[in-house]
Amino acid sequence: MPDQKLDNLLNLALDATEEEREKSRNLNVGYEKQTRKWEIIVKHSEALPGGSEISVVSLLGGYAIVTLPESMLDEYSRRPQIEFIEKPTRLYFEDFFSKEASCITQVQRNEPGNLQLTGRGVLIGIVDSGVDYRHLAFLTADGKSRILRLWDQGIPGNPPKGYATGTEYTNEEINEALSLSVQEGRRLVPSEDGSGHGTAVLGVAAGSDFSRGAVNRGVAYESDLLVVKMGIPRQDSFPRTTELMQGVDYLVRQALAMGRPMVINLSFGNNYGSHRGDSLLETYLDSVSSIGKLAICVGMGNNGSDALHCGGKLSAGEIQEIELGVGPFEPNLNIQLWKDYEDEMEIYLENPSGERVGPLKEALGAQRWSLGNTELLIYYGKPAPYHVTQEIYVDFLVKAETDPLRIQQSSYIDSGVWKIILVAGNIKNGEYYLWLPGGKTLNPGTAFYLPRAQGTLTIPATARRVISVGAYDARLNAYADFSGRGSCNLPYPKPDLTAPGVDILAPRAGGGYARFSGTSFSTPFVTGAAALLMEWGITRGNDPYLYGEKLKAYLRRGARPLPGVERYPDDMVGWGALCTAQSLPEI
């Protein structure tokens, strides 16, 4: 019987065959085929012992990242101190591959009567794709690095104390590398930012580039920097939630050890989960947000104009059909359907040829159905200790083909219009919600035919205590339609506010500057603004308690309205557009 201490995806992955896992986008994430080991997220009540085959990285707040053989997972989960286990999921950039509008220059100006806030004394930390540490945006006026610590999780050798992977580089080592030629410096500190995402994000929040005066400065350009580069090299290249959690944990511990306030920027997200703030990633961020003088800023994602989400309300005696278009050449696909456990309904699936399976069995364990060229791998979950809703997860996989003449034709799932059919039983509420994977991973044409914009925010922007940031176009002074929108499922409004996120000029890895769009680049505006508020309040002694929820409240109160939005908070723009000057009580 499936273990109810494990989340649905992990239970399904353990029930699936190795071939099914490899075909799926989600089921193999966290599993290393060569060693037959799982990396998992654990919520626990007491310290977790390791062992010869078990690696435990303890995180703050009663969480841990554990790596262990698959054969030991069942016994390990039964330990009384373990409360719940989740498998990791993939994370995706929140980008597409200004300061005046956000009232930042008013508090930065080096003129009599102005506050001259620069972020001095405050730490800015990012967990991202890394950083081009040689870029002028991250150097002081005399050419020294502003990066105090850089943990590259993908370079084996010298991990930070308490962690199991990567290499940590100090400010002294980075400065030594800067004093050498590029080639020699790379041998000493070989960390690079292959995608350039982290370099651009950090540059918006805190870039300095004293060689260009104030032209290309970021928001908190005299803050000190901490960088975590996510990712252990692997075939799929996407970072995992386990790496993000360890990165945040490392940053918080560094800030506590230094006794300094810090703002963390997270410009990653994904679509897997109930979007109610109840996954272990979300509850972990809520937990660490209350430790030290800290704020965590998270992007809302860029699914606002994509047809990746839909929902509805089923009434007694009603039948509803949800149409899902699947584009050509789609190798696999998954959908999540979340509903209230109290509602009873029959669920059927119909392929583009009109063949139908169902009703799906409301029973724990993997279900397998076959339609055309597609195998359906289904897990009909139940509520768990950390979420009250019920998930029905469906993986669309290519059916195994033994005929060599048909193998080439059988590389993709059936394209066309699929239907999810809901037949009402005993209905008490009737609301249901579905999500497709995000991160621009699907082919054109794969989308819900009647999408829903509300609820398109990505996880972990759904966490209660983080500052969730949407995007608007500062030139048009209007909401950017790609920006993820809040959900009525949450008992609190999201986003908290918006910031410029269209055609943002930011440092480019390798040198120079380029323009970027996405909530990846609106979020660091708020990260930098939060650092300026912390400098005013904590570093300068005007308000030593200006962090956490209080800082969020100040930013929301100072936000300015946007044209066309009549009621606040709004699911597109939250409490309005970032205005740093109005967020300071002294202004």
Predicted pLDDT of residue 410 = 67
520 is catalytic: yes
Q: pLDDT, tens digit, for every residue of 434-471?
A: 999 987 788 889 999 999 999 999 999 999 999 999 99
What single-letter DSSP state applies at residue 386?
A: T
197 is catalytic: yes
Cis peptide before 569 (omega within 30 of 0): yes
Q: pLDDT, tens digit, for every residue of 212-259?
A: 666 678 999 999 999 999 986 444 557 899 999 999 999 999 999 999
Q: Is 35 exposed, middle or buried (0-12, 13-18, 19+ CB in 10 A)?
A: exposed
What single-letter DSSP state applies at residue 502?
A: S
Contact 175, 474 (CB under 8 A): no
Same domain (yes/no): 313, 213: no
With respect to residue 567, please indicate whether it lies within any of the assigned structural domains: yes
Phi, psi of 163 (to 5 degrees): -120, 160
Q: Over range 123-151, report the average pLDDT.
A: 96
Predicted pLDDT of residue 108 = 63
Predicted pLDDT of residue 477 = 94
Predicted pLDDT of residue 99 = 47
Indicate if the pLDDT at residue 111 is higher than 90.
no
- Under DSSP, is residue 415 helix (H, G, I), strand (E, B) or coil? coil
Q: Residue 485: count other Cβ atoms within 10 Å of its Cβ.
A: 25
Q: What is each CA distance from 145 to 173, 174, 509, 515, in whole angstroms?
A: 10, 7, 16, 24
Least Cα distance to 267 among 327, 227, 212, 308 occurs for 227
Q: pLDDT, tens digit, for every residue of 265-303?
A: 999 999 999 999 999 999 999 999 999 999 999 999 999
Q: What percent of the chain is modeled with pLDDT above 70?
A: 92
Predicted pLDDT of residue 491 = 87
Same domain (yes/no): 520, 410: no
State the average pLDDT for the chain.
91
Here the CATH number for the domain that contains residue 327 is: 2.60.120.1290
The kind and range of the H/E element at 245 are: helix 241-258
Q: Residue 359: count other Cβ atoms within 10 Å of its Cβ.
A: 13
Q: Over range 365-389, report the average pLDDT.
A: 92
Q: Which of 389, 417, 448 is the last residue of a domain?
A: 448
309 is catalytic: no
Q: Over range 330-346, report the average pLDDT.
A: 95
Least Cα distance to 49 among 79, 85, 7, 78 occurs for 79
Choosing from 129, 520, 522, 583, which is the catalytic residue? 520
Same domain (yes/no): 16, 150: no
Distance CA 276, CA 391 (A): 13
Distance CA 340, CA 347 (A): 14
Same domain (yes/no): 334, 425: yes
Same domain (yes/no): 364, 278: no
Contacts of 143 (CB under 8 A, 6+ apart): 178
Contact 101, 500 (CB under 8 A): yes
* Interior/surface letters 67-99, b for 16+ CB within 10 angstroms, e for the rest: bbeeeebeebbeeeebebbbbbbbbbbbbeebb
What single-letter DSSP state applies at residue 214?
A: T
With respect to residue 128, please indicate whether it lies within any of the assigned structural domains: yes
Q: What is each CA distance from 324 to 192, 274, 455, in whole angstroms?
A: 40, 19, 18
Contacts of 47 (CB under 8 A, 6+ apart): 58, 81
Predicted pLDDT of residue 566 = 92
Least Cα distance to 192 among 241, 242, 248, 128 occurs for 128
Same domain (yes/no): 391, 467: no
With respect to residue 267, please indicate whether it lies within any of the assigned structural domains: yes
Q: pLDDT, tens digit, for every residue of 498-510?
A: 999 999 999 999 9
Q: Measured over all CA atoms, what is the biggest interatomic distance in the chain, rounded to whole angstroms?
A: 80
**pLDDT band (50, 70, 90) for residue 114:** low
Same domain (yes/no): 420, 477: no
- The strand ranges marked E within 314-414 are 319-326, 333-340, 345-350, 356-357, 366-371, 374-380, 389-398
Choosing from 7, 128, 193, 224, which is the catalytic residue? 128
Q: Over range 23-52, report the average pLDDT.
A: 90
Indicate if the pLDDT at residue 405 is higher than 80.
no
Predicted pLDDT of residue 192 = 94
Same domain (yes/no): 261, 141: yes
Q: Which of 417, 448, 479 is the last residue of a domain?
A: 448
Q: How many domains does the chain have?
A: 3
Q: Residue 489: count other Cβ atoms within 10 Å of its Cβ.
A: 17
With respect to residue 100, please indicate whether it lies within any of the assigned structural domains: no
Phi, psi of 46 (to 5 degrees): -135, 170
Predicted pLDDT of residue 401 = 67
Give CA 386 to chain center in angstroms.
19
With respect to residue 173, please indicate whether it lies within any of the assigned structural domains: yes
* CA torsion angle 507 306 268 87 (round to 10): -160
Indicate if the pLDDT at residue 207 is higher than 90.
yes
Indicate if the pLDDT at residue 387 is higher than 90.
no
Same domain (yes/no): 146, 295: yes
With respect to residue 455, please indicate whether it lies within any of the assigned structural domains: no
Contact 446, 327 (CB under 8 A): yes
What single-letter DSSP state applies at residue 190?
A: -
Joined together, the tokens standing for residue 546 give 């200006």
- The half-sphere exposure of 73 on its side-chain side, counting CA atoms within 13 A, is 30
Predicted model pTM: 0.94
Q: Give CA angle at 131 (125, 132), nearest 5°.
A: 145
With respect to residue 224, please indicate whether it lies within any of the assigned structural domains: yes
Same domain (yes/no): 225, 318: no
Sign of the alpha-carbon torsion through 539, 161, 252, 531? positive
Predicted pLDDT of residue 444 = 85
What is the full DSSP assignment across 127-178? EES---TTSGGGB-TTS-B-EEEEEETTS-S-PPTT--SSEEEEHHHHHHHH
Here the CATH number for the domain that contains residue 573 is: 3.40.50.200
With respect to residue 1, please indicate whether it lies within any of the assigned structural domains: no
Q: Which of 61, 92, 123 is the last residue of a domain?
A: 92
Same domain (yes/no): 361, 471: no
Distance CA 460, CA 283 (A): 9
Higher per-residue confidence, 357 vs 490: 357
User: CA gyration radius for the chain?
Assistant: 24
Same domain (yes/no): 163, 278: yes
Lowest mean pLDDT among 23-27, 60-64, 137-141, 348-352: 23-27
Q: Could you tell me how many residues make up the chain?
A: 587
Residue 64 belongs to domain spanning = 8-92
Here the CATH number for the domain that contains residue 69 is: 3.30.70.2980
Choosing from 24, 102, 193, 197, which is the catalytic residue? 197
